[in-house]
Amino acid sequence: MLDIVREYWLLLLIGQYPNGPLGGLALSLILAILGLAFSLPLSLVIAMGRVSPIRWISFITAQFVRIIRGMPLLMLIFWAYFVVPKLLGSSVSGFTTLVCALVIYQAAYLAEVIRGGIEAIPAGQIEASRSMGASYFMTMRKVVLPQALFNVLPGLTNQFVSTVKETSLGYVISVNELTFSANQVNNLVLTQPLQVFGILAIVYFVVCFSLSRSLRWLDMRVRQARAMA
Amino acid sequence: MIKMEKVSKWFGDHQVLTDVDLTLKTGEVVVICGPSGSGKSTLIRTINRLEQIQKGRIEVDGQDIYDSQINVNMLRQKIGFVFQQFNLFPHMSVLDNVLFGLVNIQKRGRKDSIEVAKSLLARVGLAEKINAYPGSLSGGQQQRVAIARALAQQPPVMLFDEPTSALDPEMVGEVLQVMKGLAREGMTMVCVTHEMGFAREVSDRVVFMDAGQILESADPETFFTSPQHPRAQRFLSDVHTR
């Protein structure tokens, strides 16, 4: 196993870069970061739409969530990969396709987690803010969301970790991320699939574990600071 | 300062307020008491439109609060509200709780606002707690911060909705002390409370409610020594023999 790591660590880490496109773990992390960076704000908007007192806004956002939640991510990726170029009339890179699919898919799930957090905020918090003369959006921004997002941090962590692992689906549309690189290595080594995919599993685990640990650390620090522990 | 005329409110089919009339002059302190479920809290919550009314008219500071021209957020800045459950923002320090209205709503500079907030916190006896979070304070301390927060925008009227009912007995005094101070300084106040000592000591008028109606309205001396309505007599004897 160590031999494989020693031989192919660069391919696993950055793909064929700089002689070819960036790939491997580096690309997986970029995909995950972009996925999170775009899906989080989008999910905030959807979650606010879900709890909106304006009926048509809550209806539309609810349908969006239901539809996305009702399809497998892999199907969404295929759909984006084959349909979007037809609609746009020009080709779209696998990388872009994957980021878009991840963002849309994760946004729907994150939105539901955040909506749960918003709805769990006691009515008294909102009344306190409104009774001072704060508008609906000011109350959302300063009172409801800061508390709701913090309260649902464990649920958000779940979705973040999922996003990291779901980048591996890029494999099916030939995005040369970590799983794709590992498969290349496997094809080069030929005789040791157990070891190669064992390394792959360890790398994913380390990334996901560090992510969830750092978010837990953040959670605990904030709790201590706010005298909630 | 506050004028309610024939105010009625229903929750579904259930009428919770029936033709309530209540007038407060500037600087007046009115205590509303009555058994639970009598509509006291609902009544006080209609004054800043936390509850809608279906009939009648409410004026605050000469303005009809249901006038379509009126901006409810502007109106509410002029009415301080203190809740039974304090409702401090747990994710903000004590100082930031008091700064909330000044900085976020009135958009005043943070630096000047901090001076205002500090002096308010000193006034409620919590100057040394400005950097604490609500979670580390006792109930009495939290309620005093909530009063400071409600005072920050300098509202001419303060509404108190059972401010001491969620407190341990030994903390009631410190909150009442702050409220008494406010009353003596001439603040216009409406207090829903079961604290009869407070009513007797600082209120100008006691209003007794039952089943959504005002049954009796009198100065505290008259109310406590010779209540007219039999329901009020019964309420007072129950409260006193407790």
pLDDT of A229 reads 60
Interface touch B79/A131, C-beta < 8 Å: yes
What whole-number percentage of chain B has pLDDT above 70? Answer: 99
Q: Side chain identity at B182, as an amino acid letter?
A: L
Burial B181-208 (b: 16+ CB within 10 A, else e): ebbeeebbbbbbbbbbebbeebbebbbb
The answer to whether the beta carbons of residues A186 and A4 sit under 8 Å apart is no
Residue owning tokens 């080594």: A189
pLDDT digits (tens, 9 = 90+) for B116-151: 999 999 999 999 999 999 999 999 999 999 999 999
Which of A132, A146, A226 is the closest to B133 by Cβ? A226
**Average pLDDT for chain B:** 95
Interface touch B135/A130, C-beta < 8 Å: no
Mean pLDDT in residue range A24-50: 96
Secondary structure letter of residue A23 according to DSSP:
-
Interface touch A133/B83, C-beta < 8 Å: no
The answer, yes or no, to whether residue B76 has pLDDT greater than 60, is yes
Measured CB to CB, residues of chain A less than 8 Å from chain B are 122, 124-125, 127-135, 138, 142-143, 146-147, 150, 225-228
Confidence of residue A17 (pLDDT cuts 50, 70, 90): confident
Q: If we measure between CA atoms, which residue out of B200, B101, B22, B124 comes closest to residue A131?
A: B101
Contacts of B104 (CB under 8 A, 6+ apart): A134, A138, A142
Interface touch A133/B100, C-beta < 8 Å: no
pLDDT digits (tens, 9 = 90+) for A117-166: 999 999 999 999 999 999 999 999 999 999 999 999 999 999 999 999 99
Interface touch A133/B136, C-beta < 8 Å: no
Confidence of residue A173 (pLDDT cuts 50, 70, 90): very high
- List chain A residues with CB under 8 Å of B132: 227
pLDDT digits (tens, 9 = 90+) for B6-49: 999 999 999 999 999 999 999 999 999 999 989 999 999 999 99
Which of B76, B88, B132 is the closest to A132 by Cβ? B76
Chain-centre distance of CA B146, in angstroms?
11
C-alpha distances in angstroms, B158 versus A103, B146, B150, B187?
Answer: 48, 12, 8, 7
Q: If we measure between CA atoms, which residue out of B194, B185, B188, B100 comes closest to residue B150?
A: B100
Which of A131, A134, A150 is the closest to B91 by Cβ? A150
Q: If we measure between CA atoms, which residue out of B17, B24, B22, B18 comes closest to residue B5?
A: B22
Instruction: State pTM to two decimals.
Output: 0.91
The answer to whether the beta carbons of residues A168 and A178 sit under 8 Å apart is yes
- List chain B residues with CB under 8 Å of A126: none
The answer, yes or no, to whether residue B242 has pLDDT greater than 60, is no
pLDDT digits (tens, 9 = 90+) for B182-217: 999 999 999 999 999 999 999 999 999 999 999 999
Interface touch B87/A127, C-beta < 8 Å: yes
Which of A130, A142, A147 is the closest to B90 by Cβ? A147
In this structure, how many other beta carbons lie within 10 angstroms of the beta carbon of residue B171? 18
